[in-house]
Amino acid sequence: MSKLLHSVITGKGKPLIILHGYMGMGDNWRSLALEFSKHYEVHQIDQRNHGRSFHTYAFDYELLVEDLHHYISEKNLKTVYLLGHSMGGKVAMLFAVTYPELVDKVIVADISPKEYEPHHQQILAALNEVNFDLHDTRKKIDDVLKIYIKHKGIRQFLMKNVYRKGKNEYAYRFNLTSLTENNSEVGKALPSFKQYNKPVLFLKGETSDYILDEDKPLIKAHFENAQIKIISNAGHWLHAENPEQFYNESIEFLK
């Protein structure tokens, strides 16, 4: 029996499950979840090795899909809407083609079904340089990350995973060992010849290169009822950079 994923549930109505990206957590979606919860029962999930969910060494998309299936059955949810960003979008896609009877609509935020080269090595290197015995304040931790990661927004996102474990001790919420060892899993493609025929909305950040024009035939091969919309003035973190348009496109699609 697998362990149950941690979640925060708000609102009433049809269940809408939100799946965060790599090194994220459900809490990253708090503001948008509150908006969605005016219409739906929103489940902000922490996936395994992230947030407040359980840690295991094993980590791949098949396991993340089975974790979600276990969650849906334990919560007695009949059918759901799925919204996934980046890694969470890959989980949403694989779940939809694996358990189509449980999913009525899918929103995929800035990721395509294709394979991606591993590209988090510098971030993982930075995180692994932190020694919580020595770096015992948030400022000291950020100073280490700053050596490798110049982008303040990325550091702020990562620092949300730092929590006070004891009186003078900090730790990461995510399972850094597993995420480092299994980094290559995150870029894996959706398996060939898997289809889901219900409606799917792909939202692409205008300045992001995660979804390219050449990816459209592959998207259509897996999801014949897919549409692609562009979120303006936004990159890969489109839900944070332009939450208003992200919400409006999503709610219009779900309704």
Domains in the chain, CATH or no CATH each: 7-115+188-254 (3.40.50.1820), 121-181 (no CATH)
> Does the pLDDT of residue 81 top 90, yes or no?
yes
Reported pTM: 0.96
Percent of the chain with pLDDT over 70: 100
Q: What is the pLDDT of residues 93-118, one digit of tens each?
A: 999 999 999 999 999 999 999 999 98
- Alpha carbons within 13 angstroms on the beta-carbon side of residue 11 total 19
Q: What is the pLDDT of residues 142-172, one digit of tens each?
A: 999 999 999 898 999 999 999 998 888 999 9
For the chain, the maximum distance between any two Cα atoms, rounded to a whole number of angstroms, is: 54
Q: What is the pLDDT of residues 17-46, one digit of tens each?
A: 999 999 999 999 999 999 999 999 999 999
How much is the pLDDT for 168?
81
For residue 212, which of 112, 124, 117 has the smallest C-alpha distance? 112
How much is the pLDDT for 113?
98
Cα four-point dihedral sign 217, 219, 224, 225:
negative
- Alpha carbons within 13 angstroms on the beta-carbon side of residue 13 total 13
Quote the tokens at residue 243: 């939450």
> Does the pLDDT of residue 180 top 70, yes or no?
yes
List helix spans (H) across the chain. Answer: 30-36, 61-74, 87-98, 121-129, 138-148, 152-159, 176-181, 216-222, 238-241, 243-254
Interval 57-63 mean pLDDT? 97
Q: What is the pLDDT of residues 196-212, one digit of tens each?
A: 999 999 999 999 999 99
> Does the pLDDT of residue 72 top 90, yes or no?
yes
> Does the pLDDT of residue 1 top 70, yes or no?
no
Please identify which residue in the block is written with the tokens 């759901």: 80
Tally of CB atoms within 10 A around 143: 12
How much is the pLDDT for 119?
83
Q: Which residues are catalytic?
A: 86, 236
